[in-house]
Structure 1
Amino acid sequence: MRTGRFERTEREAPPLNAALVNICGLLVHARPDRSAALSERLGATTGCEVHAATDDGRLVVVVEDTEEASALDRIRQINDWDGVAASSLVFHHFEDAKALEGEIEA
């Protein structure tokens, strides 16, 4: 349970440094019968990318801050979607935006 103190602190926090990219790794637990639809919806959502999905409804998702929404706001939205049982933050990292500007060669 969250307390009002923490929610107030989040609202009053200064904006994040624009030179940093917020990267969150999630494990989303979905109802198996809704997994494919949720995977498509996540893939079509700005700042989200699905990296893996299992037959039993687990989705590995990366969420990043965008101009439209912060990663935290996006994670809150995902948790409210129909068919999502829960999500777990399993990775969090701030990356220098300049370091991500170049293309990655395979």
Structure 2
Amino acid sequence: MAAEIHIAGVIVHARPAQTADIRAQLALLPHAIVHAVEDDGRMVVTLEAESAPRTLDAMDAIRALPGVLNVALVYQHAEPATAMDEEMP
């Protein structure tokens, strides 16, 4: 089976007082990027992984962080890893 890349967009909802700490923890998570943070504790995050189970593992790790209230998957895409090397028209 060919290697795959999975890209997921998630909304992380956290206690506003802990947003900075959670953002710092997310920076330690491999292939996690925080794109936006709102004052009410919502964060837009993308995750990259090699499989759907690894994506779910990353979401579970985020969910387990102190102060995280919810993690919601809003987008998921998978394709062969070789597609990342293809030139776009």
RMSD in angstroms over aligned alpha carbons? 2.2
Q: Which residue of 1 aligns with 2:23?
A: 39
Higher strand share: 2
Q: Which residue of 1 aligns with 2:44?
A: 60
Displacement of 1:100 in angstroms is: 1.7
2:33 counterpart letter in structure 1:
E
Once the two structures are superposed, residues 39-85 of structure 1 have per-residue CA deviations (whole angstroms, 9 ceiling, x without a partner) of: 1211221121111111110000111215xx81111111111110000
- The TM-score with structure 1 as length reference comes to 0.71
Are 2:17 and 1:50 equivalent residues in the alignment? no
Larger radius of gyration: 1
- What SS class does the counterpart of residue 89 from structure 1 fall into? strand
Q: Percent identity?
A: 39
- The TM-score with structure 2 as length reference comes to 0.83
Q: Which residue of 2 aligns with 1:95?
A: 79
User: How many correspondences in the alignment?
Assistant: 86
Q: Which residue of 2 aligns with 1:86?
A: 70
The answer to whether the 8 Å contact 2:31/2:47 transfers is yes
